[in-house]
Amino acid sequence: MTSPDKASQETITGVRVWVPGKLFSFTCTRPTGFRFTAGQFARLGVNNTLVIAGEPDVIWRAYSMVSGPYDEHLEFFSIVVPDGAFTSHLSRLKVGDPIWVDKTNFGFLTTARFESGKHLWLLGSGTGLAPFLSILLDPDTWNKFETIVLVHSARTVEELVYQDQIQQFTGHPLMSELVPNLAERFRYIPVVTREKAPNCLNERITTLLANGELSEVTGLTLDKADSRFMICGNPEMVTDLRNTLKIMGFSPARRNTPGEVAVENYW
């Protein structure tokens, strides 16, 4: 548990509801001196104003940063869990309300996990999109990798959030200036699993990897020398993808053991 002296009280500066009662994003002020590497998460705290029994005065949860490491504010993307202790509070917050941010950064879902590689595959389901938006906003990622493929899987089209930001990413004022040939180097593959959707793939990412469709639509061969994978989202999807990649010959990137796959589970 985070002690109050390790945390900083920040202020909500913006809220964007994507799907009412289900998905939203918010921005808040950034604690002075708070640094992080793209892909890491913060620990956020909300006051237990609903007085949920059995919960402490401040309820803490891990949240991946959506914002880039050089952005002035912090941004987060959240699910609303029905009766969830944390998200019941978080989803009620409005501009001007306080939120606690632990001053320490956490997590290892960063490109530092890979020693080499040319093509970075960011495979996220649901809110597992969050750290990948931050990774895309880090010029260092683009110095390390030639091509970056963002694959976001959601159940329905309305859950394919951040469309404006992703579709306009190659015109991002700072990134397009800092990253040469950004438009040719970025691929976005939206995946919708529970309904048919135009311009989207309609199978689970595991299937799309194993049947070669992702390779075909991106024009990129999957191989140990060049391909690196980051996976984030629900534990079942993470496990299935990890197993699929293992069968395809890819190994986990561990401390002191180079590999091609880095993962993060959200619960």
Binding site for ligand FAD (CB under 6 A): 41, 61-64, 76-79, 81, 84-87, 107, 126-127, 130, 264, 266-267
Q: Which residue is nearest to ligand FAD (CB)?
A: 84
76 vs 114, which CB is nearer to ligand FAD?
A: 76
Please report how close the Cβ of residue 75 comes to ligand FAD at its closest, in angstroms.
10
Q: Which is nearer to ligand FAD, 67 or 206 (CB)?
A: 67
| Nearer to ligand FAD (CB atom), residue 86 or residue 169 | 86
d(C-alpha 4, C-alpha 91), whole Å: 22
**Beta carbon of residue 149, minimum distance to ligand FAD (angstroms, whole number):** 20
Q: Which is nearer to ligand FAD, 8 or 134 (CB)?
A: 134
Closest approach of Cβ 99 to ligand FAD, in Å?
Answer: 13
Our CA dihedral for 234, 225, 109, 215, rounded to 10 degrees, sits at -40
Beta carbon nearer to ligand FAD, 55 or 140: 55
Please, which residue, 125 or 147, has the CB nearer to ligand FAD?
Answer: 125
Question: With respect to ligand FAD, which residue has the nearer C-beta, 62 or 210?
Answer: 62
Task: Name the minimum Å distance from CB 250 to ligand FAD.
Answer: 22
Q: Distance between the two ends of the chain, CA-based, in angstroms?
A: 17
Name every residue whose Cβ is closer than 8 Å to that of residue 235 and which is 6 or more positions away in sequence.
Answer: 265, 266, 267
What single letter denotes the amino acid at residue 208?
L
CB 258, min distance to ligand FAD, A: 23
DSSP string computed for the chain: ---GGGEEEEEEEEEEEEETTTEEEEEEPPPTT----TT-EEEEEEE-TT--TTS-SEEEEEEE--S-TT-SSEEEEEE--TT-HHHHHHTT--TT-EEEEESS-B---SGGG-S--SEEEEEEEGGGGHHHHHHHT-HHHHHH-SEEEEEEEESSGGG---HHHHHTGGG-HHHHHHSTTHHHHEEEEEEESSS--TTSB-S-HHHHHHTSHHHHHHT----TTTEEEEEEE-HHHHHHHHHHHHHTT--B-BTTB--SEEEEE--
Q: How far is the CB of 15 from ligand FAD (least distance, A)?
A: 14
Nearest distance, CB of residue 207 and ligand FAD, angstroms: 21
